[in-house]
Structure 1
Amino acid sequence: MDQLKIALVNEDAGETGIQIAKQLSESLPFEIESDYSNEKALQKLEDNKIALLIHIPENFSASAQKGESAEINFTVNEASATMVSSSMSTIVKEINQQLSTSFSTQTAQGILMNMNVPEEQAAAMAQQIENAYVGNYVIINDVPDGMHNSMLPMFLTMACYVGAMIASMQLVQVYKHNRGKASRFKLFGYVQLSALIIAIVSTIFALIVAYLITDLDTAVMLKVAGQQVLLYMAAFNVCAIFTFLIGEAGMIINIPILLSQTIANGATIPREMMYGYYEVVSYITPMYHSVNSYFAVMFGSTDASPFVWGLVAVGVGALIINLLVVTVLHRKEPAPRSIIQ
């Protein structure tokens, strides 16, 4: 958790705001960034570059001195890894509880100096104690309730990847079985064309299911459809590398790579919290790019293009590796098989 970054924006020049900002900077176990404006920090939060934005308004100290509600805004981005959003919610509740207790105590000390007050005035003072501090928990890019919404980017990606992994084993075996009947490059082209047809058909079925169980609109579905086809082709070529190299035994390598991506895909924990191995996996495999692009397209307002281009880079890189394997290792064509009548 200490690898996460949060932004602390203090616009209050008063003593109270400066003191609270200092206490938060010293006590929170995160990397604190305090050199942003509120607008810049909000954009960082939109892009998931920070996990939490704490904003102390410029009238904070003045409100506290006047006996009015002193407010601090805590903003989180729900279109992010589930561990980040849930952890930030817990941390904000703890901060608010401590600050509320502190402000109530200070307000009560001032009020106790005025004893034997009328009933109506006593009620007003009690209300003043209760509202001495207000911590606003603000959510941007709200994700609808339910696991079918929050985990849709991950499960849609995993379903596509597993299907592509199985198809890579089957289609490459067909490629090897038919060597000698056509050139290896023509057969390689047939393999890619077959994978593309499967990608389009499987995407139709996947999005029908997604449409039936979620509230995504048609415009979002069209964007998801294009990425789902791209993801399938990228995942297919990544998995096909090992099948082209060592045949069916390549599944022995593909399965742990798949399992590694369940941690490294960014749906549960962000890249900042990953150990080195998983962080490397997140860069060179398709799932991380796909999951974060889906979060941006389905629930967020940030730009999905960096993740889409990352997915393209992984797919093109895997395709080039497969072409090299076919060119170098499959140079010798097998003798044509005799047909036994």
Structure 2
Amino acid sequence: MNAVIAAFRGFFKLLPTKVGLTFAFVLPLLFSVVWMTGYNGATERLGQLKVGIVNEGGEAGAAIEQEIRNRMPYDYASYSSLQEAQKKLNNGKADMIVSIPANFSADAQAGQGKLTFYLNKTSAETANGILSASAAQISSSLSQSQHGDSSQAHMASNIVTLNDRSNFATNMLPMILGFITYIAVMTMNIQLNIASMMLGRWHGKWQIFWARQLIYAGVAVFASLLTTGIARLFIDPAASFGAMWGFHMLVYAASICLTQMTFALFGGLAALVNTGLIPFQLMTAGNIVPAAMLAPAYRHVGDFLPASNGVQGFFRLVYGGGSISSFALHLALIAVIAWGIAIARLAWSKPKAQPVAQPAPSH
């Protein structure tokens, strides 16, 4: 028993034990605090969802548009054409489009009125679920408004989902390429940091730094090439192989530079810092709840994190529709700024003095 107690005390003399225990306590706590505060009251922020209305029904359509605006608590915008509205929907500037057709008034009087609601598969699941339910509610409310309780009180709602794909595996690919890449790079940098400390006995800090950059470049190019190629064996994304590969290299580069920067700034604690960024990136990725429905303090955090931009960009590449230029720009800025900070920190730091071997005492 004494030996066990001695071993128990020995554990607490080692830094890895302290770091491991910190992970065990801090990580669940961090997830709890971030997600509970970020998602808290999300369904009460429906007013942040943007709904576009295309009215081709003239004055009668204008009355319907106003009634829709009065019944549902969304942020509304009017568009002159369905093509313009669908472009906004694809680019994430709208969450749903309501189309009022030119013959709506005549059809409504005959009890055959129909509104078409457009959703986007690349939008958050929660938002699409809420808006899909609202579409049926809007049609039902308008039916009673137009016809009261008569037998004619029927107005159809036609829900069209843009960029829809039936293969469920397709839904997982943006998370694999955008988020798991960050996890893989974070784990890689933990090991490379240990290797760098070991190599510090024989090589200078700049030699080690540039050697690591060569490794990073190879990983960004070839790991993204392999993963993108394998993914395309199972699904047929809307984007070309070149676009998928190029964007994946950017995700790798941003993830590498960010995690490398944290090691330059925080040393051994960087593993905890990098892991601590995970709940922020999962929450702001936008595939479950749109960033607009999060607590205000969290809405723009994802712009500064690689996985958040990666997931959103890959949703558009995989499903089609919308530009990824803003996400690519964010990833490039993350990579450049984080890389610059890592270099500045390394230049400022002083190399650790190596112990000088002392001659053995003579007898």
What secondary structure is seen at the aligned counterpart in 2 of 1:135? Answer: strand
- Tell me which of 174, 183, 203 is aligned to 2:224: 203
- Tell me which of 333, 340, 350 is aligned to 1:331: 350
Q: Counterparts of 2:185 and 2:297 in 1: how far apart (Å)? A: 23
| Structure 2: unaligned runs, 5 residues or longer | 1-45
* Counterpart position of 1:263: 283
Shift of 1:89: 1.7
* Counterpart position of 1:12: 57
* Counterpart position of 1:223: 243
What secondary structure is seen at the aligned counterpart in 2 of 1:49? Answer: coil
Could you say what the CA RMSD is over the residues aligned between the two structures, in angstroms? Answer: 2.7
- Partner AA of 2:268 in structure 1: E
Farther-moved stretch of structure 1 (250-259 vs 178-187): 178-187
**Count of residue pairs brought into register by the alignment:** 315
- Partner AA of 1:138 in structure 2: V
Shift of 1:107: 5.8
Q: Is the 8 A contact 1:9 1:55 kept in 2?
A: yes
Query: 1:279/1:68 Cα in 2 relative to 1: closer, same or farther (>3 Å)?
Result: closer
Shift of 1:339: 11
- Partner AA of 1:210 in structure 2: A
Q: Counterparts of 2:250 and 2:112 in 1: how far apart (Å)? A: 52
- Partner AA of 2:66 in structure 1: K
Q: Counterparts of 2:275 and 2:103 in 1: how far apart (Å)? A: 56
Q: Counterparts of 1:181 and 1:43 in 2: how far apart (Å)? A: 58
Q: Is the 8 A contact 1:181 1:336 kept in 2?
A: no
TM-score normalised by L of structure 2: 0.78
How far does the alpha carbon of each residue in 1:48-103 deviate from its partner, in whole angstroms, 9 at most, with x for none? 111111121232113334x2632222111112222222222222122233334555
* Counterpart position of 1:179: 200
Q: Counterparts of 1:26 and 1:337 in 2: how far apart (Å)? A: 80
* Counterpart position of 1:125: none
Q: Counterparts of 1:194 and 1:292 in 2: how far apart (Å)? A: 27
Is 1:69 the counterpart of 2:112? The answer is yes
Q: Counterparts of 2:233 and 2:251 in 1: how far apart (Å)? A: 21
* Counterpart position of 1:29: 73
* Counterpart position of 1:133: 155
Q: Counterparts of 2:136 and 2:128 in 1: how far apart (Å)? A: 13
Is 1:253 the counterpart of 2:273? The answer is yes
Query: 1:141/1:320 Cα in 2 relative to 1: closer, same or farther (>3 Å)?
Result: same
Query: 1:204/1:37 Cα in 2 relative to 1: closer, same or farther (>3 Å)?
Result: closer
Q: Counterparts of 1:2 and 1:312 in 2: how far apart (Å)? A: 32
Q: Is the 8 A contact 1:164 1:236 kept in 2?
A: yes
State percent identity of aligned pairs.
25
* Counterpart position of 1:78: 121
How far does the alpha carbon of each residue in 1:84-139 deviate from its partner, in whole angstroms, 9 at most, with x for none? 2222222212223333455565764xxxxxxxxxxxxxxxxxxxx48x53322122
